[in-house]
């Protein structure tokens, strides 16, 4: 019996594998999920992704299921409530960034119709497969999107964080060549250089 091969980072047999197999790299077109992923990536800065997955339900409870319309209305009292929530990451700056990002997210939706249309517009609606297939932390695309998000007021979304989001939401296919998801997703990718 042939063993299913996966990207090496997810071979923990549990949460990372489940996230890899069910979410990571799949073409995402839900504003709700975009906001959740971006918020998780903000919370992850300086920490590890496995911790984010373990605390995901805590984060969902703290941020009303990542309902960006509700989060955009949070005040100082709500920040204190979030900081006191058992198991929550106690970083007022990250919590403030998520609230600010929710407000900016709404502005982007107003301008483009959806955050999804805005984000996928940078790649012409196509998923990208970089031809050099090296492990990247950033790309020209993530640099460009990060600069634009910062101009729009978003916080904690530097090029590395944006690149992680592009991988997560399927704009960039960074599955290992031998991973079972690579070939399936590569069929719908535009190949390009990352220089």
Tens-digit pLDDT profile for residues 9-48: 998 768 999 999 999 999 999 999 999 999 999 999 989 9
Which one of the listed residues 24, 36, 37, 49 is annotated catalytic?
A: 49
**Predicted pLDDT of residue 102:** 98
**Predicted pLDDT of residue 133:** 59
Between the alpha carbon of residue 39 and those of residues 165, 181, 194, the distances in Å are 10, 25, 26
Question: What whole-number distance in Å separates Cα of residue 152 and Cα of residue 155?
Answer: 9
Tens-digit pLDDT profile for residues 52-68: 999 999 999 999 999 99
The pLDDT of residue 119 is above 70: yes
Residue 190, helix vs strand vs coil: strand
CB within 8 Å of 112: residues ≥ 6 apart: 118, 121
Higher pLDDT, 129 or 164: 164
**Predicted pLDDT of residue 111:** 98
Average pLDDT over residues 123-131: 86
Which one of the listed residues 19, 24, 130, 156 is annotated catalytic?
A: 19
For residue 12, is it within any domain? no
For residue 62, is it within any domain? yes
For residue 17, is it within any domain? no
Which one of the listed residues 24, 36, 37, 41 is annotated catalytic?
A: 41
Question: What whole-number distance in Å separates Cα of residue 31 and Cα of residue 33?
Answer: 5
For residue 165, is it within any domain? yes
Question: What whole-number distance in Å separates Cα of residue 191 and Cα of residue 193?
Answer: 7
Is residue 180 flagged as an active site residue?
A: no
Secondary structure letter of residue 47 according to DSSP: S
**Predicted pLDDT of residue 4:** 86
Higher pLDDT, 185 or 80: 80
Nearest to 67 by CA among 78, 53, 80: 78
Quote the pTM value: 0.93
For residue 153, is it within any domain? yes
Q: How many domains does the chain have?
A: 1
For residue 64, is it within any domain? yes
- Residue 124's domain spans which residues? 25-192
For residue 1, is it within any domain? no
Q: Which of 32-46, 117-131, 169-183 has the highest mean pLDDT?
A: 32-46
Start-to-end Cα distance in the chain = 40
State the DSSP H helix or E strand holding residue 4, giving kind and residue range, or none if neither.
none
What the block records as the tokens of 113 is 């119709």
Per DSSP, the residues of 108-126 read HHHHHSSHHHHHHHTTTT-
Give the burial string for 40-71 (b: 16+ CB within 10 Å, else e): bbbbbeeeebbebbebbeebeebbeebebeeb
For residue 69, is it within any domain? yes
Average pLDDT value for the chain: 92
**Predicted pLDDT of residue 134:** 65
Question: What whole-number distance in Å separates Cα of residue 52 and Cα of residue 73?
Answer: 24
User: What is the CATH number for 188?
Assistant: 1.10.340.30
């Amino acid at each position: 019996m042939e063993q299913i091969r996966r990207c090496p980072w997810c071979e923990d047999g549990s949460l990372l594998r489940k996230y890899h197999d069910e979410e990571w790299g799949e073409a995402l077109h839900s504003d709700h999920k975009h906001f959740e992923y971006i918020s998780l990536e903000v919370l992850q800065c300086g920490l590890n992704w496995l911790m984010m997955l373990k605390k995901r339900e805590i984060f969902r409870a703290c941020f009303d299921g990542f309902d960006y319309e509700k989060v955009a209305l949070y005040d100082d009292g709500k920040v204190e409530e979030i900081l006191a929530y058992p198991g929550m990451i106690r970083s007022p700056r990250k919590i403030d960034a998520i609230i600010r990002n929710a407000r900016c997210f709404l502005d982007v939706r107003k301008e483009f119709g959806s955050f999804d249309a805005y984000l996928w517009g940078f790649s012409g609606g196509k998923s990208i497969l970089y031809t050099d297939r090296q492990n990247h932390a950033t790309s020209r695309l993530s640099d460009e999107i990060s600069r634009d998000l910062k101009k729009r007021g978003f916080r904690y979304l530097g090029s590395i964080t944006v690149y992680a989001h592009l991988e997560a939401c399927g704009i960039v296919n960074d599955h290992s060549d031998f991973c079972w998801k690579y070939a399936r997703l590569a069929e719908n990718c535009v190949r390009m250089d990352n220089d």
